[in-house]
Structures are given as structure tokens and as C-alpha cells.
Amino acid sequence: MSQIEEVNINVADLTAAIAGKSIEESLAFLAEVFPGQIAFSSSLGIEDQVITHFIYSNNLPIRVFTLDTGRLFNETLTLLHNTNKRYGKKIEVFFPQTEAVEKLVNEKGPMSFYQSVENRKECCYIRKVEPLNRALKGVKLWITGIRREQSDNRQSLAPIEWDNNMQLFKYNPLLEWTFDDVKTFVKENHILYNPLHDQGFVSIGCAPCTRAIAEGENFRAGRWWWEDSSKKECGLHTH
């Protein structure tokens, strides 16, 4: 009996099954456990470029997709084009529903997210959460680029988790990596990355909602900087 046949589909056994494996080995193993039902969501941030490299350079049967919110930096879109070209692959792109964006902008204007947390979360839902839900339809294991040091919210996460909101498993292969680990790996493997990272942007989202951070600032300080909490999330990663 193969190791895959012996694995029960639960967090504990999946965690045990990948213990001691490299990221490439873990991804390949999980792709066999969840054939055609495994996907990686890339924001095209530097962490996600590392995971895309693992998947594409090893020709693993894992879907890679991204969300184009309609408000991305031009540098992000250029990176999407160049990444596709580098690996000879096509990252799947999901867009928000046109009618929902039109209604939001016509009713509240193009910058409503600055006015309240509720408005910001509404915009995030329309531009990110709803497209993500469509992208993950039929997926049983979702791969993310989450790292523990990124925010206070992520301190209690585990490499393999059950996402109760999405009703699927999540694998966070870079959970224990530091930002320096990521940058070193990118340099050593000549991985393409967003040039905004060299300008103080550590977490890159929509252009109106992202800024560079100063040395010593919280990792998430550059996202929705007009809000107070260090636990800021857009709603993609909830439990």
C-alpha cells in the first residue's frame, strides 16, 4: 500500500505525512492526494513568486491563479506577464463581477474604502473575496504564501490547517520562513519579483491601499495604513 493510500484526509495525518519532506516533495505529495483539486492563489508578492517557482519549475499538477482586482500596480501586472513568459505557463486570472464593481463605484465613488472600515471590507469583498470563492470552487486543498511573521493574526497558524469558512484544507509551505529567507531564496534562484519590494513595499495589494513601510514598522503597516489595527486582513484568510 502506498503512503498516499494510507493517509486519512484529516489535518493530523496530512501534517504527519509531509513531516520531514521538502516543500517540493510536500507539494508533489499533496497534488497526488488531491488530484485536480489542489490550487495555489498567488498575489504575485515575493513569497508567492517562490511558491510559483516550486510548482512550475517542478512541473507539478497544481493550478496557479491570481486575482486582478482592477486596482493593481502596473508593476504587478508586468510581473504577471513576465512570470508567464519565464515558465511558459499561464497563471489563471479571476476578476471581480463587473456589475458589483459598477454598483459600488456609482453609489459610493472610487475611493469609498478610505471612509470607513466597513466600506473598505465591502470593496475587498467585491474585488477579492467573491472572485476567490469562484476560483476555489471544487478545490479541496488551497496553497497560500502566508508567513507567520507577517501579522499578529498569523502567529497561531499551522502548516496544514482546516479552513472552516472555505471548507477546505490549507497548506502554508512558507509559514516559518522569515522575509530574509524569502529574499535570499529569490536571489539564489533568480526568481522574478515585483520591483516595488526594493522600494520598501513588503506586502503589495491594490495601489490605493498599499504603501511602503519604514524600518521598524509592522509588516502589515503598509496595507490600509489609515486604519489602526495591526491585525488588518482583507477577508481572504479567515477561520
Which residues does 55 contact at the CB level (< 8 Å), separation at least 6?
Answer: 27, 40, 62, 64
Phi, psi angle pair for 109, to nearest 5°: 90, 170
φ/ψ region of 40 (left if φ > 0, alpha if ψ in -120 to 50, else beta) reads beta
The set of residues, in sequence order, having a beta carbon less than 8 Å from that of 187 and lying 6+ positions away, is none
Relative to beta strand 160-163, strand 168-171 is antiparallel
Catalytic residue among 123, 124, 209, 234: 234
User: Is 123 part of the annotated catalytic residue set?
Assistant: no
6 three-class SS: helix
List active site positions: 234
